[in-house]
């Protein structure tokens, strides 16, 4: 017979999940109540308000999908698209490709705008595609590309969508809570995120928000949404404003306690302070890397502070180094994906994991593991360089 599972204590500095705030773990342990209990309905309303704060929106249809960020992505596409529609999809990494999959599986045409992995989305290419396809229903793009550590200009891209009468659809899985994001101010029509990145909650929930324009598209569809579970016409009845909620599914009660606590932590810190904290620790981390003789993939103007793509030095076994960090330092970092496999490490400084303690721990462990592989790095400089940023 198996014993109870007791996981090791790790520092999670990969592309997600991130370290979970102890307050969030405590919230998970609270007593479970019914998903239609009046007290739980009250909690749902609070979660909605806190998500509106995090997204900077007044959208009524703002809620957490009871499934991971990939389900949030699917919810957006299956609700807004009907068979035969056309969507312009930007791809500069792995997750633009997933958007394409969703569009095509919905029986629609995906017009692809490709940019190199490690580069921001080219606005001129996007505008050209919009001009060439005036019948496109939506423009979809990734704000913070987790596979590369690139931030694209969501504000400018959403403005282009409005200019050409398209819905602006945004993947904010890695950006929510980590960098500036303004759904209403930027005119975003549909957005989805994940609970396990900069919110430092457990994996398994996907915050989404739909503008009034997007809600009108959903309500006036000619055909049923192909997914019963993700049909916002049905989900609205459970997450609506009325105190009398219609049963749709049994919500994940305790994970929603956790999300509420995570969003409360973000609200208490304040969005501007959270964004500034991520930038500070990123700046210190990069200073330490450069003092060691390492480099990062992405140009400074489009670099994400919460997801750092570190270039693997010549001759280093990158998989062995990751294994060493996990085995000897209980430290998890991520590998490269797609065209960047074997070429970068993805180091996350997301949410609760974005701290001075983690920056110094990672730099120290990384230097030690590189020295063990006889890599040509500058020793005993990284921590001092990082500390000079903290001042």
Domain boundary among 268, 289, 304: 268
Asked whether residue 4 is assigned to any structural domain, the reply reads: no
Verify that 113 and 101 share a domain, yes or no: yes
Give the total number of structural domains in the chain: 2
Verify that 224 and 93 share a domain, yes or no: yes
Q: What is the chain's pLDDT, residue by residue, as a tens digit (391 residues)?
A: 789 999 999 999 999 999 999 999 999 999 999 998 999 999 999 999 999 999 999 999 999 999 999 999 999 999 999 999 999 999 999 999 999 999 999 999 999 999 999 999 999 999 999 999 999 999 999 999 999 999 999 999 999 999 999 999 999 999 999 999 999 999 999 999 999 999 999 999 999 999 999 999 999 999 999 999 999 999 988 887 666 778 889 899 999 999 999 999 999 999 999 999 999 999 999 999 999 999 999 999 999 999 999 999 999 999 999 999 999 999 999 999 999 999 999 999 999 999 999 999 999 999 999 999 999 999 999 999 999 999 9
Structure confidence at residue 85 (pLDDT)? 98
SS3 193: coil
Structure confidence at residue 236 (pLDDT)? 85
Nearest to 347 by CA among 198, 149, 68: 149
SS3 236: helix
Report pTM: 0.96
Per DSSP, the residues of 116-141 read: -TTS---HHHHHHHHHH-TT--EEEE
Listed as own residue / partner, the contacts of 102-109 with beta carbons closer than 8 Å and 24 or more positions apart are: 102/73, 102/74, 102/77, 102/78, 103/77, 103/140, 106/77, 106/78, 106/81, 106/82, 106/226, 107/83, 108/81, 108/82, 108/83, 108/84, 109/84, 109/85
Verify that 177 and 221 share a domain, yes or no: yes
Task: Say how far apart CA 350 and CA 368 lie, in whole Å.
Answer: 23
Domain boundary among 268, 283, 307: 268
In this structure, the number of other CB atoms found within 10 A of the CB of residue 235 comes to: 22
Q: What is the dihedral angle through the alpha carbons of 358, 360, 363, 366, rounded to the nearest 10 degrees?
A: -60
Half-sphere exposure of 317 (CA within 13 A, CB side): 10
Structure confidence at residue 237 (pLDDT)? 85
Verify that 170 and 258 share a domain, yes or no: yes
Give 29-55 as a 3 state SS string.
Answer: CCCCCCCCCHHHHHHHHHHHHHHHHHH
Cβ burial of 70 (10 Å; 0-12, 13-18, 19+) is middle
Name the residue range of residue 386's domain.
271-390
CATH code for the domain of 283: 3.90.1150.10
Name the β-bridge partners of 346. Answer: 309, 334
CA distances from 346 to 14, 148, 308, 318 (A): 6, 8, 6, 11
Structure confidence at residue 247 (pLDDT)? 84
Asked whether residue 9 is assigned to any structural domain, the reply reads: no
Verify that 221 and 307 share a domain, yes or no: no
Answer yes or no: are the C-beta atoms of 234 and 248 closer than 8 Å.
yes
Structure confidence at residue 243 (pLDDT)? 61
In this structure, the number of other CB atoms found within 10 A of the CB of residue 375 comes to: 19
Q: What angle do CA 100, 150, 101 make, to 5 degrees?
A: 10
Q: Who contacts 91 (Cβ-Cβ below 8 Å, separation ≥6)?
A: 97, 99, 100, 112, 113, 114, 115
Structure confidence at residue 242 (pLDDT)? 60
CATH code for the domain of 147: 3.40.640.10
Verify that 252 and 277 share a domain, yes or no: no
Q: Which residues of 192-218 are buried (b: 16+ CB within 10 A; e: fewer)?
A: bbbbbbbbbbbbbbbbbbbbeebbebb
Structure confidence at residue 241 (pLDDT)? 64
Copy the structure tokens of residue 20: 């979970």
Verify that 276 and 255 share a domain, yes or no: no
Answer yes or no: are the C-beta atoms of 21 and 261 closer than 8 Å.
yes
Structure confidence at residue 239 (pLDDT)? 86
Name the β-bridge partners of 170. Answer: 141, 191
Verify that 292 and 201 share a domain, yes or no: no
Nearest to 252 by CA among 28, 101, 50: 28
């Amino acid at each position: 017979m198996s014993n109870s599972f007791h996981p090791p204590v790790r520092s999670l500095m990969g592309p997600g999940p991130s370290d979970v705030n102890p307050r969030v773990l405590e919230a998970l342990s609270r007593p479970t109540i019914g998903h239609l209990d009046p007290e739980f309905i009250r909690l749902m309303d609070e979660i909605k308000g806190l998500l509106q704060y995090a997204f900077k929106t007044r959208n009524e249809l703002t809620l957490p999908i009871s499934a991971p960020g990939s389900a949030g992505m699917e919810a957006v596409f299956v609700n807004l698209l009907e068979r035969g529609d056309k969507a312009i999809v930007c791809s500069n990494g792995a997750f633009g490709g997933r958007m394409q999959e969703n569009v095509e599986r919905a029986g629609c045409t995906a017009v692809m705008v490709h940019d190199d992995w490690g580069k921001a989305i080219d606005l001129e290419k996007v505008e050209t595609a919009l001009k060439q396809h005036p019948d496109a229903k939506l423009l979809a793009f990734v704000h913070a590309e987790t596979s590369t550590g690139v931030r694209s200009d969501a504000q400018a891209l959403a403005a282009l969508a409005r200019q050409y009468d398209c819905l602006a659809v945004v993947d904010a899985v890695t950006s929510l809570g980590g960098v500036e994001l303004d759904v209403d101010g930027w005119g975003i029509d549909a957005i989805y995120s994940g609970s396990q990145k900069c919110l430092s909650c457990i994996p398994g929930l996907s915050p989404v928000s739909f503008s009034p324009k997007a809600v009108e598209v959903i309500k006036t569809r000619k055909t049923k949404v192909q997914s019963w579970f993700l049909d916002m016409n049905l989900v609205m009845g459970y997450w609506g404003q009325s105190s009398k909620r219609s049963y749709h599914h049994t919500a994940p009660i305790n994970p929603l306690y956790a999300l509420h606590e995570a969003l409360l932590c973000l609200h208490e810190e304040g969005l501007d302070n959270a964004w500034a904290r991520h930038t500070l620790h990123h700046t210190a981390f990069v200073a330490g890397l450069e003092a060691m003789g390492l480099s990062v993939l992405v140009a400074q103007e489009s670099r994400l502070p919460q997801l750092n793509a570190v270039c693997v030095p010549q001759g280093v076994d990158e998989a062995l180094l990751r294994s060493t960090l996990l085995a000897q330092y209980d430290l998890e970092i991520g590998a490269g994906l797609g065209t960047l496999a074997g070429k970068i490490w993805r180091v996350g400084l997301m949410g609760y994991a974005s701290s001075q303690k983690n920056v110094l721990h990672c730099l120290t462990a990384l230097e030690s593991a590189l020295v063990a592989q006889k890599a040509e790095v500058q020793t005993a400089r990284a921590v001092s360089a990082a500390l000079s940023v903290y001042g």
